[in-house]
Structure 1
Amino acid sequence: MNLYEKIVNREEKISLVGLGYVGMPIAVAFAKKTDVIGFDVNKQKVELYKNGIDPTKEVGNEVIKNTTVNFTSNEISLREAKFHIVAVPTPVREDRTPDLTPVESASRTLGRNLTKGSIVVFESTVYPGVTEEICVPILEKESGLKYGVDFKVGYSPERINPGDKEHRLETITKVVSGMDQETLDVIAKVYELVVEVGVYKAESIKVAEAAKVIENSQRDINIAFMNELSIIFNKMGIDTKAVLEAAGTKWNFLKFSPGLVGGHCIGVDPYYLTYKAEQMGYHSQIILSGRKINDDMGKYVAESTVKKMIKANKQINGSKVAIFGVTFKENCPDVRNTKVIDVIKELEEYGIEVKVVDPAADKEDLWNEYKITLSNAEEIKGIDAVIFAVPHEEFKAIHLEDVQRMFKPEEQSYLEAINEVAATSEFDIEVDRKECVLMDIKGLFDRKEAENAGILYWRF
């Protein structure tokens, strides 16, 4: 009886090392089929899970309450499992080089508790070679076991999209790889327990590592192209969204949109690939050019906001700007590597007071990471400009009238007068609309409606 059969018969257990936005949903999915140990060094997070609370909002509190996952922060519990999945973050440092500290630490923890006959599968996004050249030696050193004899290793890149209820672990083809054919077959069968659409067997661990890192690099480059187009078209006075809608009528036009590119994947993974390329003597041109464009977009939004405020005769130093949305993407509490922070920092450099509204963001993480406290939408009054940075579902219920009420009283009176005159006049009236500044990054509002209401409007 091999390891797969023992797992199915609940004679052996699966462990998840790292219970974040990726690891926790995997643990919950496997727990429907077999016995699972969910380990994380964050004791507070583990206690939330034990109490039936899902801080990631990926599966929901009800699912967490009913799951059979044994959530623990006691690493000794890992000795009870024989199939280990490592799903920890792989961020970059300030200098844009890979920070392998989390995956190295997880390897040490797992190595201290690794037993003979185990298989270790890494899911963290890395550059080709990390699993075998960095993680395996750590596992050997900490465990005293021999790679390929006492334990085996594989790699299966995570493809979970945080906040996405359609593309989930069960519905995304899973790329799997193993150090040898026997290991690959076991890993494939184990993942097939939960991945409904099946798995793809990569020919090697390095191929699987490379496949993952280029997925997000490709997306990053395409978004960078859209961002560059947005900069160009804004200078031309052309609406980028209108251009993309027109171009999108062609069957082979790739439908990407401009925006702030943050998070723990797209804004990070390309640097892993270019780092390894540099080690091999090749300096990336396209990938790094795309990264530079996307990394600078937060500053671009802030500068565009200031320009609009100047056009509206605002006193910049001491003015107030409200930002709606601070997470790295919509309908997700994750604030890691959010590029909205770049907007905030740049505005503050101008002496602008920034208020942040986000009903989805993890308040504790936001404070620990950026020292930012959130405001309620009802508290936003007397501002000089508003930026809708993230299109959360909750924000779709906000109307232009609600936005207008956020501005200073004298500006609200101006808008009311403009609307009254426009409603009673038989002629088109040219009005110098300068009072209220609305930066609608993701196009939540209708541009013409906003402009007709007397709002100075901008979007990518």
Structure 2
Amino acid sequence: MYQALIAQEKKLAVIGLGYVGLPIALAFAKKLSVIGFDINAERVAQMQQQQDPSKELDAQAFEGADIVFSHELEDLRQAHFYVVAVPTPIDSHRSPNLHPLLSASKTVGQVLKKGDYVVFESTVYPGCTEEDCVPILEAESGLKAGLDFKVGYSPERINPGDKERTIEKIVKVVSGNDEEALENIAQTYELIIEAGVHRASSIKVAEAAKVIENTQRDLNIALMNELSIIFDKMDINTYEVLKAAGTKWNFLNFYPGLVGGHCIGVDPYYLTYKAQQLNYNPQVILSGRRINDNMAEYVAKKALQFILQTDTHPKSAKVLVKGITFKENVADIRNSKVADLIAALKDYALQVEVVDPYAAADEVAHEYGIELAQEVGTDYDVVIVAVAHEEYKQLDAAYFRSISKEGAPILDLKNLYANWAEDLPLRWTL
């Protein structure tokens, strides 16, 4: 397969052209002949005009790429090596929502041919590829995995907004259903991954490696959040404590905050779901998840306490939230815990206005029913800086004075303004 791909006798297809799929497709298209497939015709039309709907890549990233963008199944039939990079979110019950992944498997199964390869990149629980996806591929194609076509798993490692650690600079984990599949998949990814690939011993090992990467981060942040709550009751600045503790060589540098996005706030639930299917209750992982999921409510309650201290009635109080994307300097609003914070503030009958220089107003309205404000007002009772956008780092105390009532607190959730003098506006941080 590898030799046929580099000789451009066969094409590679990427299914799902979002934050993960599009960078992968364009990277491969600098080396191979590629079909970029997405079911969203509007997004496809944008990419055909060298526009990234996710606003992560500029037009230059499309230059020199041998790629055809399509939403037509017939175009997908031309490929022989399929990379599936669709989202794997959770539902309202915090259980894995495999609908996009299983739907993509059905689509690929309809065009699968003898000798083809299918590699999944979507984050899943160990066993999902072989137990959930492969049976669909077989049912739709009438072919047998291992005998008629090969299967692999290579977890995505895209970090939205990171211009330094781009796809080619991050080691890629690869796996296959047998040695031949593993070697062909590894060699194919080595074409675009400068940092090299790690050959996992099995598909399940690769799946497990991915899901624990973000579970580990989630638990470390949960510890920081719990420490933040404890230190707040002691009137101790958490960041000063972490700075002092960080002088020890083996202290890990994690910080408190709202844990959202498509990875850290989601992936642990895939692992706990599988564990519970096996009659094991993952206490540590779920405990960390509970702490992180409750941080939005904790911050909202803190804002309300500040308001009540001024004898202001909640219904007449105005709160400004700066930032709604799940992390700094990106347009990605998926699983934004700032949205949970806004909902909690509104539950307290507070008037909430939201601004963000990166988020698309129509997407925010569609996803969360939140209308972004066109401009900032001048009489807020509380200002919450929720996301560390570069633009927000440049703001000073005079700016916050100009938009707030006298003595109004600034809830600096990312500790952006640690250098403010004590006589400037009240600043509270996690």
Task: Tell me whether the two structures share a fold, i.e. TM-score over 0.5.
Answer: yes
1:79/1:113 contact within 8 Å kept = yes
In structure 2, the residue matched to 1:392 is 389
Residues 327 and 387 in structure 2, CA contact (< 8 A), matched pair in contact too:
yes
The CA deviation string for residues 259-292 of structure 1, in whole angstroms up to 9 with x for no partner, is 0000111001101111111111110110000000
* 2:52 maps to which of 51, 54, 64: 54
Partner of 2:399: 402
Name which one, 1 or 2, has greater alpha-carbon Rg. Answer: 1
- Aligned equivalent of 1:444: 416
Q: Do 1:334 and 1:362's aligned partners in 2 also have CA atoms closer than 8 Å?
A: no
Alignment of 1:80-159 (within 5 A): 80-159=78-157
User: Is the CA contact 2:275–2:282 (under 8 Å) kept in the aligned structure 1?
Assistant: yes
> Paired residue for 1:421?
none
Equivalent residues in 2 for 1:293-442 (5 A)?
293-376=291-374, 378-408=375-405, 411=406, 435-442=407-414
TM (normalized to structure 2)? 0.98
Offset, 1:66: 5.4
Shift in Å, 1:375: 1.9
The answer to whether the Cα contact below 8 Å between 1:312 and 1:437 also exists between their aligned partners in 2 is no
Provide, for residues 6-35 of structure 1, a one-character-per-residue CA deviation record: whole Å limited to 9, x for no partner. 111111111000001000000011111011
Q: How does 1:177-326 map onto structure 2 within 5 Å? A: 177-326=175-324
Q: CA RMSD in A?
A: 1.2
Q: Does structure 2 conserve the Cα–Cα contact (< 8 Å) formed by 1:230 and 1:240?
A: yes
What secondary structure, in the 3-state scheme, does the structure 2 residue paired with 1:154 have? strand
Structure 1 segments, 4+ long, off by >4 Å, are none
Task: Please report the TM-score for the alignment, with normalisation by the length of structure 1.
Answer: 0.91
1-side partners of 2:61 and 2:361: how far apart?
22
Q: Distance in 1 between matches of 2:37 and 2:390?
A: 32
Give 3-state SS (helix, strand or coil) of 1:401's partner.
Answer: helix
SS in 2 for 1:232: helix
| Residue 426 (structure 2) pairs with residue 456 (structure 1) | yes
Q: Secondary structure at the match of 1:16?
A: strand
Partners of 1:129 and 1:76 lie apart in 2 by 30
> What one-letter code is carried by the residue in structure 2 that aligns with 1:438?
I
- The answer to whether the Cα contact below 8 Å between 1:259 and 1:441 also exists between their aligned partners in 2 is yes
Distance 2:65 2:319 in 1: 43
Cα pair distance change 1:447/1:397, threshold 3 Å: closer
Flag the 1:147–1:293 CA change in 2: closer, same or farther, 3 A. same
Other structure's SS at 1:317 match: helix
> Is 1:53–1:65's contact at 8 Å kept on the other side of the alignment?
no
Report deviation, 1:350: 1.2
Shift of the alpha carbon at 1:67? 3.5
Cα distance in 1 for residues equivalent to 2:311 and 2:49: 53
Asked if 1 retains the 8 angstrom alpha-carbon contact of 2:321 and 2:354, the reply is yes
Task: Write the deviation string for residues 91-142 of structure 1: whole angstroms up to 9, x where unpaired.
Answer: 1111111111110000011111112211000000000111001100101111
1:405 partner SS:
helix
Q: What's the offset of the Cα at 1:68?
A: 3.2
Does residue 14 of structure 2 align to residue 16 of structure 1? yes
Say if 1:78 and 1:114, in contact at 8 Å, map to a contact too. no
| Aligned-partner residue type, residue 333 of structure 2 | V
**What 5-or-longer segments of structure 1 have no aligned partner?**
412-434
Q: Which amino acid aligns with 1:458?
A: W
Contact 1:220–1:290 (8 Å) recurs in 2: yes
